[in-house]
Amino acid sequence: MNSLLHKILLIVFLSIPLFLKSENPISFLNNSQKYLENAKSEQDFSEGKFYPGSLYLALNYNSTKLLSYEIQTFENNEWITTGTMNVSYENNRISLILYELELADVNRSTMIQRYEIQWTDDYISQIDVSYTMNENDIYFFREFYTFEEGFLQSYYTETTADLVESERGEYIVQEGKITNALIEVFSDGSWQNSIHYYAEYSNGRLSAFNSDNWISGNWEHSYREEYTFTDDIISEILTQQWSSSVWNNYSLSLTEIESGLSVLNTVYLWNEDEWEENIRQILTYDDNQTLSEVITQRWDQNNTDWYTSERILFNFDVSATNELTYTEQNTIKAYPNPFNPNLSLEIACEKNSELSVDLFNIKGEKIISLFNGISDHNTIIINWNSEYSLDHPLASGVYFVRAKQKNSVSYKKVLLLK
């Protein structure tokens, strides 16, 4: 890609929140902020945190039923709309993502970014991506994906109008987690190494994410992220860059849940020998715990204070959430509720059909699989002990049980009180 395209893509992805990869459509508390900062959690990584960008966006929006959002900048003491995003669905599957952005250049150029999405069975198989600047086509590429047992196994990209293969990736899955990914680019008539991603785990949780670049015939470190958890939440992300044969601090992201309906994420940058404030985002949720607004503030070093620069207003398909809430009350019974530590579930299901039952936290992250197989009866009983089935203690709080069959998905809210 040329330098102009790199700049355009950088502007776009700084403007688009990479968020809400949640299999729980009822509650997204704290989950979205990680995507705004491009952070990773165990579930994010195992289900494809480093998928190609277009597939990642499509999977996020499809799982959350986001309809649209509006990007606004704060200028002359008022909010000015500088971008919009709209999502279309066919047969309850995402089919189109359309962005229209006003770029911050002299001419106030308008760029339209379009994602057309195709499905094969239950998985996205192809995405066509095009960029248009002031009604002139400037870039086009097409990505193809191969899935196996729910995980992305490989992809390849065709670029420009003649659709020449330009990039491909292969993923390695071990014990239900993506552990490595090798990205190659097509150059000088052959495939060349480009990027190697790999993860480190501790006590079943992601502890570090690494990226190496292929330079002059050798792999060289590029950057590394280390994660600190507080209960089930990623509270700290330390990013380091490789330079002069050592790891050097680059950024520090801290997350705080200020209340049940507000999350604060602050990013600091390393300056010689200390951390300096850089940017922070305040995420606000409505009474249904659905993300409604993200406000971005930047640090003014001259006035040593935060100033508001942008905000994003969200619009979700509320009817989809209400439908799932209604389904939950008729399909899944949980007792006792609240529970500690034993929980019994009675789930109505189709006989002789595939059934998966999973537990999610309030961020939409999968905690544990409770059942995955063929249901022998119209009702199954699951008895679960929260203390002895996990590598780490489960914190008190709200969780969601999801029962998924071929033609239906049901949820039940449960509360763990210690």
pLDDT tens digits, one per residue of 356-366: 898 887 666 77
The answer to whether residues 146 and 254 belong to one domain is yes
Instruction: Identify the pLDDT of residue 289.
Output: 61
The CATH number of whichever domain residue 39 belongs to comes to 2.40.128.720
Structure tokens at 146: 């191969």
Q: 328 and 261, same structural domain?
A: no
Write the single-letter amino acid at 405.
Q
User: What is the total count of domains within the chain?
Assistant: 2
Asked whether residue 338 falls in the same domain as residue 289, the answer is: no
Do 328 and 296 lie in one domain? The reply is no
In order, the DSSP letters of 350-388 are: -TTSEEEEEEEETTS-EEEEEEEEE-SSSEEEEEEETTT
Q: Of 277, 298, 316, which residue sits at a domain end?
A: 316
Domain boundary among 251, 286, 316: 316
State the CATH number of the domain containing residue 354: 2.60.40.1930
Domain that holds residue 394: 320-416
Which pLDDT score is estimated for 259?
Answer: 61
C-alpha to C-alpha distance for 385 and 67, rounded to whole angstroms? 38
Main-chain phi, psi angles of 159, to 5 degrees? -120, 145
Dihedral of CA atoms 404, 405, 407, 410 in degrees, nearest 10, equals -30
Based on the domain organization, do 329 and 310 belong to the same domain? no
| Statement to judge: residues 270 and 406 lie in one domain | no
- pLDDT at res. 10: 30
Residues contacting residue 60 through CB under 8 Å, at least 6 positions apart: 18, 19, 20, 21, 35, 66
Q: What pLDDT is attached to residue 28? A: 30
Q: Are residues 265 and 373 in the same domain?
A: no
Same domain, 179 and 312: yes
Give the pLDDT of residue 97: 93
Does 178 share its domain with 288?
Answer: yes
pLDDT tens-place string over residues 96-144: 999 998 876 656 788 899 999 999 988 899 999 998 888 787 778 899 9
Residues 165 and 253 in one domain: yes
What is the C-alpha to C-alpha distance for residues 361 and 413, in angstroms, rounded to an integer? Answer: 10
Give the pLDDT confidence score for residue 176 in this predicted structure: 66
Asked which of 316, 339, 360 is the last residue of a domain, the reply is 316
> Which residues of the chain are under the pLDDT cut of 50?
1-48, 321-329
Residue 60 sits in the same domain as residue 171: yes
Order of strands across the sheet that contains 332-335: 332-335, 342-348, 379-385
Whether residue 233 is found in the same domain as residue 381: no
Q: How far apart are CA 357 and CA 391, in angstroms?
A: 19
**What's the pLDDT at 110?**
87
- E strands present in 109-232: 110-120, 123-133, 136-148, 151-159, 164-174, 177-187, 190-202, 205-215, 218-230
What pLDDT was estimated at residue 231?
Answer: 66
Which residue, 50, 43, 147, is CA-closest to 359?
43
